[in-house]
Amino acid sequence: MMFIENGGVTSPKGFRASAGYAGIGDDKQKGDIALIASTVVGNAAAVYTKNKVKAAHIGVMKNHLVGGMAQAIICNSGNANTCTMNGTEIAQRTCEIVGRELDIDPVFVLPASTGVIGVEMRIAPFENTIPELCENLSKENGTAAAKAIMTTDTKPKEAAVSFICGGRECVLGAVTKGSGMIHINMGTMLSFMTTDAAISAELLQKALDEEIPDSYNQVTIDGDTSTNDTLVIIANGEAGNVIVDREGADYDSFRVALHEMSVFMAREIAGDGEGCTKLIQAHVKNAPGKEQARVISRSIISSDLVKTAIFGEDANWGRVLCAIGYAPCDFSVINVDVDLSSKAGSIPVCRGSMAVGFDEELAAEILKEEEVDIEVDLHNGDEEAFAWGCDLTYDYVKINGEYRT
C-alpha cells in the first residue's frame, strides 16, 4: 500500500468531480457546491453523527442507501440544512435534479450539507448550478471539489492510496472537510471516499464500523459533536478485481488501506482545527483493554487545560495526569509514565505517576513544534490507542464568536 502523489477523490478509476458557486456560501472563489460521480453505479456504505439532532441530508441519505448502492454525491457548504422546515424537501429535490442531469436514478444520489444551522435553504441555487456541475465533471476537478466543501477549514483535505486486491491494483481516494464543531462519534465533519475496488456493500459497512472507533472517532477539536457528520464510501469495481464478498486476504488488504486513509484524514482534521497552531497526538499504551486506551487518549486530547498548556508551550504534565485520572473507565493510575515529544526531541515529565526533574527549556523547545506527541504508558496491560486534537487558542474564540455574523 502506498499514498499517491497529489491523489484525491477522483484518483480511482471511473470517478470524476466538479465544483461551482451557487450563492449559498459567501466565498465565490472557493465555491460552495461540489459533485462527485462514478461512471457506473457502485456499492456503498456510510456512518453518521450520533447527535440526536441531525441534518436533513442524513435521513435522505439513509433512505437512499437502503439498497447499498450509489453513484453520485452532491454537497453544499455555507448552510447545514439543519433544523429548517423544508430541509428534507430540499435534499430530496437536489437528488432529483442531479439524477435528471446525469440520467441516473435519484436514489443513487447522496446529498450532504455543511455550514450554519437553522437557516432555511432555497432550491433555486441548486437548480441553477447543478446542470453546469454535471457538464464539468472531470478527473482534474478533485481539488476544486475539496475546496468547495470547506467552511472554516484553512486548506483542502484530500488523498489517495493504492493497494493490491485480488491481484489487481486498486485505489482508495478521499476528500474531507472539518475544522470545528468536532468531537468523538463522527465529529462538523464530512468525508467522501471512493474506490475502484469491487467489494460488497455489506463488507464496506463492516469495514467502516470496524475502522471509525480507531480513527475518526478519536478526533476532537472542541467537544461539540456536529449535527451533520457523515462518512460515505462508494466502490464502483472498475479496477476489475473479483468482488470481495467475504473476509480474507483481500478484505484485509482493503482494511489496511482504509485504516491508513482514515488516520491520515483524522490527523488532517485535527491539525486544521479552528484557530489552532499545533496538532496534538495522544498515544496511550499498555492499557488493560482497547476501549480503555481509546477513552484515556480521548480524555487527554479533550482537556481544555491540556490544550491551552500546549498552546502556551508549557510542559504542565499535571494536567495530562489529571485528564487521565477522570477518564470514565476502569484502570490503575499507580504507575503512569508521561513523555512529551516532537521532532525537536523527547523528554520524560512524569514517572510512576510522580514528578521527575526535567529541563524546562528543552521541554519548551519540544512544545514549539507544529506537531506535539503526548506519550502515556500505563504499565497496566498490553493495548494501545491514539487520539488527535489541537491546541486551544485565542483565535478559536474569535472564529466561533463571530461564526454566524
pLDDT tens per residue across span 239-272: 999 999 999 999 999 999 999 999 999 999 888 8
Contact between 372 and 315 under an 8 Å Cβ cutoff? The reply is no
Determine the Cα–Cα distance for residues 103 and 174; give it in Å rounded to an integer: 25
Residue 318 has pLDDT above 70, yes or no: yes
381 in the Ramachandran plot: left (φ > 0), alpha (ψ -120 to 50) or beta?
left
**Could you confirm whether 10 is annotated as catalytic?**
no
Rounded distance between C-alpha atoms, residue 194 and residue 172, angstroms: 6
What pLDDT, on the 0 to 100 scale, is given for residue 181? Answer: 53
Whether 279-401 and 2-271 are alike in CATH topology: the answer is no
Domain boundaries 2-271, corresponding CATH code: 3.60.70.12
The candidate with the shortest Cα–Cα distance to 302, out of 335, 273, 330, is 273
Q: Given 188, 195, 227, 393, which residue is catalytic?
A: 188
H helix or E strand, kind and range, residue 321:
helix 317-325
Per-residue model confidence (pLDDT) at position 49? 82
Using the structure block, give the residue that is written with the C-alpha cell 467489494: 199
Domain ranges of the chain: 2-271, 279-401
pLDDT confidence bin for 153, thresholds 50/70/90: confident
φ/ψ of residue 229, rounded to 5: -55, 130
Per-residue pLDDT reduced to its tens digit, 172-188: 999 999 765 555 444 44
How confident is the model at residue 383, as a pLDDT? 98
pLDDT of residue 270: 86
- The CATH architecture one would assign to domain 279-401 is Roll (3.10)
C-alpha 129, offset from chain centre = 27
Residue 193 CA to residue 183 CA, distance in Å, equals: 20
Is residue 113 pLDDT above 80, yes or no? yes
| Mean pLDDT, residues 96-120 | 96
φ, ψ dihedrals at 179, nearest 5°: -150, -35
Q: How confident is the model at residue 229 (pLDDT cuts 50, 70, 90)?
A: confident
CA 208 to chain centre: 12
Tell me what percent of the residues of the chain surpass a pLDDT of 90: 82
Q: Report d(CA 160, CA 194) in Å as an integer.
A: 9
Q: Is 223's pLDDT higher than 70?
A: no
